[in-house]
Amino acid sequence: MRAAKFLVLLATFAGSAFCAGTKEEAKALVKSAIVDFKSQGEAIFPKITAKDAKYVKEDLYVTVYDMNGKCVAHGANVKQVGKDLIGLKDPDGVAFVKERVEMAKTKGSGWQDYKFSNPVDKKIEQKTAYLEKVGEFIFSCGAYSK
């Protein structure tokens, strides 16, 4: 019985340790997606949404919005694609997509803090996302704080 409990505990710990991408990895995923976008254009959007391993790593995933807040690619939730998410708010009331669009328009790139549901454990967690504007699109990827 103790061995079974230990194995469950070990599996839980290993799973949570495995699913913790870093800010540096999030930024690298955005940069990689941008390189592909510059060579392939919008053809990469379905690949991002299909969770292509090039754009998803552990709990990190790339998202792409247009400059009006419409989601055009989402590496964790296909249901978001095609939706106008400009008014989407986190649990603290932060309109993070609107904030992301404004940041892209005024700064071109940067880091953004907000709360969001982790696709791995489904818990609301603090998240720090790197975003970068390329043409009329905003590429982003965030790392969850553990």
Hey, what's the torsion of the CAs at 144, 22, 27, 79, to 10 degrees? -40
> In angstroms, how far is the first alpha carbon of the chain from the final one?
30
pLDDT in tens, 10-37: 333 344 444 589 999 999 999 999 999 9
Instruction: Look up the pTM and report it.
Output: 0.85
Helix (H, G, I), strand (E, B) or coil at 121: coil
Domains held by the chain: number:
1
pLDDT in tens, 103-130: 999 999 999 999 988 877 888 999 999 9
CATH at 46: 3.30.450.20
In a domain, 93, yes or no: yes
